[in-house]
Structure 1
C-alpha cells in the first residue's frame, strides 16, 4: 500500500541533511490534517507502455494553464514526462500534455547543473530516489545526486507561471539550463543579462499531424526571470555552444545556460512566465502573478487554494487508503479542461489569432462527457459557463466545437459529445452562456456532414484529414445508421451519436425549437436499427441493410461493451432485450464473462444498469466491487488511462453513492455510498449531506433511504435536489433488499 510509502517519503525528505543551508523543503507538517494532505500525486504514475494511468505529479492551480512536473523521460504522444519506475531526472518541465495518449505543446524545461553545460537529456540527468522526494499539488521537492554532490530542487506555481528554487552545494560551479526546443523543433532563445532573464519560444505541437490546421502563429512563449545575477551565460544550438557575447539564437534544438556565484550558499530562484500570446504577455503574466520573490508565500497560497477546492467535500468513515484515492481523484478531476486564456485574452488554436475573453482547452470529451464534466458541475460550477462558452468560441473560430482539442482539432475518437456538455449545462440551469448560439453549434453537429464525408473511411487518428465531426453523417441521414462497409467504427458511432441526437433535442427544446426537438428525439431512437434480435446484440450493418461481422465497427470495445451505449434510453434497450429479467440475465453474463472493461470509458456506466432492471441491489454490489478492484492508493492505482479526470470522477461519484448514467438528463443513478458520511459544500452556503448508517465493507446493500426526511423509493436523484442542499440518508445492511426494486424507466418515445 502507498500509505506507508507515502508517509516514509515525507518523513525521509524532511529529515534530509544536505551540504547546503538546512532550510526545510516544506514548512507544513507531515500530519494529514487538511484535504490536500491526502492527495498523493504518485497514484497512477507507474506502468509499462501506455496502458496505465499516465498521470504526473503536477504542481499547478486548479485548471492551471501550465503544469509543472519533474521530467524523467522525454515525453511525446503515448509517453508521459514522469514515470514512477524511473531513477533519473532530466529536467523540470512546464508542460501542457493532458494525457498519456495526447501530446505536449509549447513546453519549456529547466535543469540545475554542476560543472558546466550539459544539454542532452542523457548527459544532464541526475539520479534521485523517491525517499528524497515530496509531491503535492502545491509544491514538489526532490534531492538529486551529481557525483556525490546533492542538488535540491523545489517547485510551486500559479495559473500561468512556475516558481523554481535550486539549492546547490556551497562554492560550486552551479548553473541552470533552459531548454527552449528539442532536436527537430525550430525555436528561439535570448539571454538578457541586465534583467537576469532568458526569453524564448517553442512552436512544437506534438499532435499537429492529427488535425487539419497548420497554425503558423502558434508558439509557446516563456520568460525565465532569475533572482540572482549571472556569473556567465551562453546559448546553444544542437551541439554548438555560443558563449560570451552571443545572447540569442534561432534554430533547431536551442537553449541557454547561465551560471551563478554560490559562495554564499543561497538558493537560486527562477520564475517562469508562460504564454501562447507573446513574450510581452509572458512577461505580463509574471508581473501579475509573481510580483515579488516569495517562494514560500507562493507555495502557501497555492496550498490554500487547493484546500478550498478539495474542501468542498468532508468525508467520514473512509479508510486511509480510501481518503488517498478520493482526494487524489478529486485533484485529478480538477486539472482539466485547462485554462487557455491569459488575464482576459487568449490565443485561439482554431483561427490562429488572439481574442478577448476567457478560454479553455484540453477537453477529452469522448471520455469526460460521461462523468468528469458532471462532477465539475458540482465542484466547479463557477467555471461551467466559461467552459461551454470556450467551446462555442472554438466553433466560431474554427467552424465546429472540438471533440479533443490539444490545443486544436485532433480528430481523435468519435461522436460530437460537446453536444452533451451543452445539454447538461442547460439542464442543470447554467445561464451564463448564449443558449441560442449553443443551439446553432449543436444543430450543425447533427446536420452538417464533414468535408469529404463519403470519400473517406475516417479511421481513428488518421492524419491530415478535415475536421471529422460526425463521420459518415451523410449515410446516417439517409439510412438511419452509419454503414460498416463505408465508414470505420460505424456501429459505435451510430450508437453514441444517437445519444448526441438526444442531447441536441434537449437543447432544441430549451431554446424553443419544438419541431427540431421532436425531429432529433425521434432520430435518437435510430440506435435500435442496429439491434439484431436473432443474436440479442447490437451489430453493424452495411449500406444495403445486411448485417456486417459482429466484430466489425467498434471503437475500443465490442458487442458486449456497446450493448447499452444508448445512455439516454436504457429502458428502451431493456425492452429490446425482452424486459427486465432478460436484460438482467444478459448483464450478468456481461460481468460474469469478463466483458466489463473498467479501464475504458464505454464500460463506466455498466455497474449502474441493474437500477434500470428492477435489481438495484446488484448495482450496489457491482459498483462496490469495481471501486475496490480498479482503484488503489499505489502508483499503479488507476486501472487504465486516467483520461483527464474521467477515471477519477467515476470513483468520486461512486464514493458519494450516485453516478450520471445519462448526463444530459441532469439525473444520477444511485449505487452504494462508500463512506458513512459526506458533506458537499455548495455555493450560497448550502450543504448536501449523504449519510449511510451501518455502512461497512460488508454492509453494501441499501435497506432504505430518505431524502430530506421523506422516503425515497426510486434509485434516482436529480442535480436540482442536490444543489438545493439537504440530506440523503441511507440505511445499509449485509444482505440485498427490495429497496427501489419497483422502479422502471420509461423508454424514450418520439413525440
Structure 2
C-alpha cells in the first residue's frame, strides 16, 4: 500500500468516535498519590532539582521550606540538607533561574536571629510531610522543637507554628537579603508587618531595567505581638529603607501561633486584598481543603488504571509538576507587566521555559488545562506588545536563556487546536517579527549564553541566516542548534500564516523551514555547524546542551525529509540503533525527548515501544532521586505523563501524537468540552511492552499515530499488548508532518 493511501486511511479513521465516562474512581484521593519530594534529591537515577512547593495549580506564589538560600543556579530546597532557615514564598521556576520578589517567614524560640545560618534549625525527614496542599515539619533540638505547618492559596499562605511549652515565641519576616533595597514596616495596632523585596534574578540575565518592580507582602498574626525591625547590614547603596526584616514576639503560652501572608507584585494594598479574598479567617483546615480540592479537580482530569503503586505515585507527581507552570501573574483583574514596568488591567502568566516546554509540557496543558491556554498565549502577546518581543523564558521579564523563539510553537499549537481567547492578528505579527527581524546588535554580538549587557536575543544570528540559510558558528554561539531550532520555528510561523490567510507567507516560511538541510554533512551522516565561508566547523561546535548525536534527529517538523537525507528508512533506523546502543541518549535533557518515537516513522514501531518502556523504567522512580535532569517547568514530567498514557507529540504544533507503549491498562482524559478520550491496553503488564494490534474508534488503526481531533471526538484507542515484538504499523512510511 502506498504512503498516500495509508495517510488517507489514517485520516478517514478520524470520523469514528466512542464515548466513555471519565474521572477518578469514586472516593479516590489523587492528592494522596502525589509525592512532591520526588526529584528533590540525588541518587542512582539523578537529581531532578524540583521543590516540594505548596500552591494551587499555576499559583502565583509557591511556599517551600528553605534549606538554603537560592541563587541561579541553586534552589531553596535540597533533600540532602539537614536544617531549615525559613519558609519562602518563592517565584523561582527552575534551578537555572533565580528567585524574584520573595519573602521568608521563620518561627524562632529563644534569642532573635536574623542571619540565615544562625537562625537555621535542624530537622529530620522522618518528621516531614510534603503534599501539594500541606507541608509539616518539626525543627530544632529535642525538647525545644517547633512544629511548623503550612497550606496556601494562589497569592497567600497560612502557617501554624506550635512552640515548646513556656518558651519564647517569635516569628521573623525577612523582606530582603543583605545588599538589596527592600524593607519592612510594622504596625502593632493592626497586628501587621508589610514590606517589599525588589530583588529579581533577571536583572542579571536580561536587558530591561524595572525600577518599579517589587514583590510586596502583608503578614498578619492570630495573636497580639510586640514588633521590631532589624536593619540592613550594611545598607545597600541608595537605599531609602534600612529595615530589611522584622520580628513579631508573642507572650509564652501553649497555643499555636498562626500567621497568614498575602503577596502581590502590584502593591501592599493589593497583597492585603489578595489575602482578604483567599484567606479571610483563621480556619487552617478550611484553607487546606480548598487547596486540596483544587488539586483533586486538576489531577482528576486524567484517571488511570493498571499502574502499580510506585507508578501511580510517579504519574500523579509528574502531573502535579506539570500543572505548576507557567505561573499566573493575575491579581483579580490586574497584573504587573514586567516588560514595561506598569500595572495593567487583565490577566497574565510568567515562567514559560519555552525551549523546554514547547516539546510536551504545553501540549499536555492543552489537554488537562484547556481553560488556561488562551490566556497563556495572550500573556505572551501582551509581553510582545509591551516589550517588543515575545519572551524566551520570562523570569518575570526577558532573560537571554536558551535559544530559538519557541513561543512561535506555543502560538501555532494553540491556533492549530482551535483555542480562542487571544488576538490572532497580533499573534501573526509577533511570530513574523521573530522570524524576520534580527535582534539589536546581531551582526556583532555572538550571543553567548547568559552573556551580560546584551539586548534581547530573540533569534540570535538571524541576520546571518537570512543571507546564508544557516547561522555561522564562527560568528554566533550555539549556531548549529539554533539553525535547527529556527527551522522548526519557521514551520510553526508558516502554520500561523496559513491560519490567518497569508498564503504567500505560509509558502515562504514552509520553504525556509527546510533550511535545516544546510547542516547535514553527507560525508559523516550527521548534522554539523558551518562557518561564515560555508566550510564545516568542528563536529562538536555550535551545540546547545547536546551534541551531533542528538541534534542530528532534531527535525521535528520534517521527519520524512530527515529519512531522505539519511538514505532511507533502514538507514535512519540503523542510526537510531547506534544512538541508543551506544548510550548517546541523554534523556535528562530535553532535545532527546522525541528521539525514541522516531522508530514509528521508519516502520519499526516495536523499537519505539521497547525504548520508551526502558526509559520510563530507568529514568523515573518513586524516590527523591526519581527524576533525572532538571524538570524545567514540567517538561521532564510531561514526557512521563504522555509516555505512560501511550503517545507523545513529536511535532507538538502539528496536533499529531506518535504512539509508544502505555504503562496503563486504561486511561480516561477529560477534554476541554467534557468529552472523554480513552486508552485501553489489554493484556498489558511489565513484560508486555509491544503492541499486537490497535483500534481507534472501533476501526483498525494501521499507523502508529493519532491526532488531537481524535481525542476531542472522544474516541477510544484500543490496544492489545504482547510480550514479543509484532509487525503492527510496520508498513507505514512517514510522509513528513507538514
Normalising by structure 2, we get a TM-score of 0.94
CA spacing shift, 1:79–1:240, aligned 2, 3 Å: closer
Partner deviation per Cα, 1:438-466 (whole Å, 9 max, x = no partner) = 00000000000000001111101111110
CA spacing shift, 1:359–1:480, aligned 2, 3 Å: same
User: Which residue in 1 is equivalent to 2:7?
Assistant: none
TM alignment of 1:443-458, pairs within 5 A = 443-458=432-447
CA spacing shift, 1:665–1:481, aligned 2, 3 Å: same
Moved over 6 A (4+): none
User: Is residue 728 of structure 2 the alignment partner of residue 739 of structure 1?
Assistant: yes
User: Is residue 252 of structure 2 the alignment partner of residue 257 of structure 1?
Assistant: no
User: Which residue in 2 is equivalent to 1:482?
Assistant: 471
Contact 2:64/2:88 (8 A) holds in 1: yes
Distance in 2, Cα, partners of 1:38 & 1:434: 39
Distance in 2, Cα, partners of 1:457 & 1:331: 38
* Matching residue within 236, 254, 257 for 2:230: 236
* Matching residue within 150, 155, 159 for 2:154: 159
Contact 2:46/2:625 (8 A) holds in 1: no
Distance in 1, Cα, partners of 2:688 & 2:264: 52
Give the structure, 1 or 2, with the largest relative contact order (CA under 8 Å, sep 6 or more).
Answer: 2
User: Tell me, what secondary structure is at the counterpart of 1:567?
Assistant: coil
Partner deviation per Cα, 1:623-655 (whole Å, 9 max, x = no partner) = 000110100000000011111100000000000
Deviation at 1:747, TM superposition (A): 3.6
CA spacing shift, 1:452–1:669, aligned 2, 3 Å: same
Contact 2:529/2:538 (8 A) holds in 1: yes
User: Tell me, what secondary structure is at the counterpart of 1:684?
Assistant: coil
Deviation at 1:312, TM superposition (A): 0.9
User: Which residue in 1 is equivalent to 2:309?
Assistant: 320
User: Is residue 256 of structure 2 the alignment partner of residue 267 of structure 1?
Assistant: yes
Unaligned runs of 5+ in 1: 1-31, 242-248
User: Which residue in 2 is equivalent to 1:150?
Assistant: 145
Partner deviation per Cα, 1:377-413 (whole Å, 9 max, x = no partner) = 0000000000000000000000000001001101100
Distance in 2, Cα, partners of 1:661 & 1:270: 47
Deviation at 1:724, TM superposition (A): 1.9
Contact 2:183/2:243 (8 A) holds in 1: no
Contact 2:46/2:626 (8 A) holds in 1: no
TM alignment of 1:412-427, pairs within 5 A = 412-427=401-416
User: Which residue in 1 is equivalent to 2:104?
Assistant: 109
User: Tell me, what secondary structure is at the counterpart of 2:374?
Assistant: helix
Deviation at 1:251, TM superposition (A): 4.2
TM alignment of 1:694-709, pairs within 5 A = 694-709=683-698
User: Which residue in 1 is equivalent to 2:195?
Assistant: 200
Contact 1:184/1:253 (8 A) holds in 2: no
Distance in 2, Cα, partners of 1:394 & 1:143: 43
Distance in 1, Cα, partners of 2:685 & 2:477: 46
CA spacing shift, 1:484–1:272, aligned 2, 3 Å: same
User: Tell me, what secondary structure is at the counterpart of 1:394?
Assistant: helix
User: Tell me, what secondary structure is at the counterpart of 2:132?
Assistant: coil
Deviation at 1:726, TM superposition (A): 2.4
Distance in 1, Cα, partners of 2:671 & 2:498: 28
Distance in 1, Cα, partners of 2:672 & 2:482: 38
User: Is residue 646 of structure 2 the alignment partner of residue 657 of structure 1?
Assistant: yes
User: Is residue 193 of structure 2 the alignment partner of residue 190 of structure 1?
Assistant: no
* Matching residue within 333, 341, 366 for 1:377: 366
Partner deviation per Cα, 1:682-730 (whole Å, 9 max, x = no partner) = 2433211111110011111000011111111111100111122121110
Distance in 1, Cα, partners of 2:90 & 2:716: 41
Most deviating of 321-330 and 685-694: 685-694
* Matching residue within 410, 423, 433 for 2:422: 433
Distance in 2, Cα, partners of 1:462 & 1:99: 19
Contact 2:579/2:585 (8 A) holds in 1: yes
Partner deviation per Cα, 1:556-601 (whole Å, 9 max, x = no partner) = 1111010111100011101100000011111100111111000000
Deviation at 1:146, TM superposition (A): 4.0
Deviation at 1:99, TM superposition (A): 0.4
Distance in 1, Cα, partners of 2:255 & 2:584: 58
CA spacing shift, 1:748–1:685, aligned 2, 3 Å: closer
CA spacing shift, 1:194–1:563, aligned 2, 3 Å: same
Contact 2:367/2:672 (8 A) holds in 1: no
Contact 1:152/1:166 (8 A) holds in 2: yes
Contact 2:330/2:349 (8 A) holds in 1: yes
User: Which residue in 2 is equivalent to 1:400?
Assistant: 389
User: Tell me, what secondary structure is at the counterpart of 1:429?
Assistant: coil
Distance in 2, Cα, partners of 1:493 & 1:252: 46
Contact 2:37/2:624 (8 A) holds in 1: yes
User: Tell me, what secondary structure is at the counterpart of 2:111?
Assistant: coil
TM alignment of 1:266-415, pairs within 5 A = 266-415=255-404
Deviation at 1:51, TM superposition (A): 7.5
User: Which residue in 2 is equivalent to 1:87?
Assistant: 82
User: Is residue 57 of structure 2 the alignment partner of residue 67 of structure 1?
Assistant: no
User: Tell me, what secondary structure is at the counterpart of 1:730?
Assistant: strand
TM alignment of 1:724-735, pairs within 5 A = 724-735=713-724
User: Which residue in 2 is equivalent to 1:10?
Assistant: none
User: Tell me, what secondary structure is at the counterpart of 1:389?
Assistant: helix
Deviation at 1:78, TM superposition (A): 1.3
User: How many residues in Structure 1 have an aligned counterpart in Structure 2?
Assistant: 709
TM alignment of 1:528-677, pairs within 5 A = 528-677=517-666
Contact 2:184/2:243 (8 A) holds in 1: no
Distance in 1, Cα, partners of 2:154 & 2:74: 24
User: Tell me, what secondary structure is at the counterpart of 1:148?
Assistant: coil
Q: What is the root-mean-square deviation of aligned Cα atoms in Å?
A: 1.6
Distance in 1, Cα, partners of 2:627 & 2:46: 10
* Matching residue within 470, 473, 490 for 2:462: 473
Contact 1:187/1:200 (8 A) holds in 2: yes
Most deviating of 715-724 and 253-262: 253-262
Contact 1:185/1:252 (8 A) holds in 2: no
User: Which residue in 1 is equivalent to 2:42?
Assistant: 47
Partner deviation per Cα, 1:537-567 (whole Å, 9 max, x = no partner) = 1111111111111111111111101011110
Contact 2:179/2:232 (8 A) holds in 1: no
Partner deviation per Cα, 1:311-366 (whole Å, 9 max, x = no partner) = 11111110111001000000000000000111110111100111011100000110
Distance in 2, Cα, partners of 1:91 & 1:147: 19
Contact 1:183/1:253 (8 A) holds in 2: no
Contact 1:186/1:203 (8 A) holds in 2: yes
Partner deviation per Cα, 1:503-533 (whole Å, 9 max, x = no partner) = 0000000000000000000000000011111
Normalising by structure 1, we get a TM-score of 0.93
Contact 2:47/2:626 (8 A) holds in 1: no
Contact 1:182/1:252 (8 A) holds in 2: no
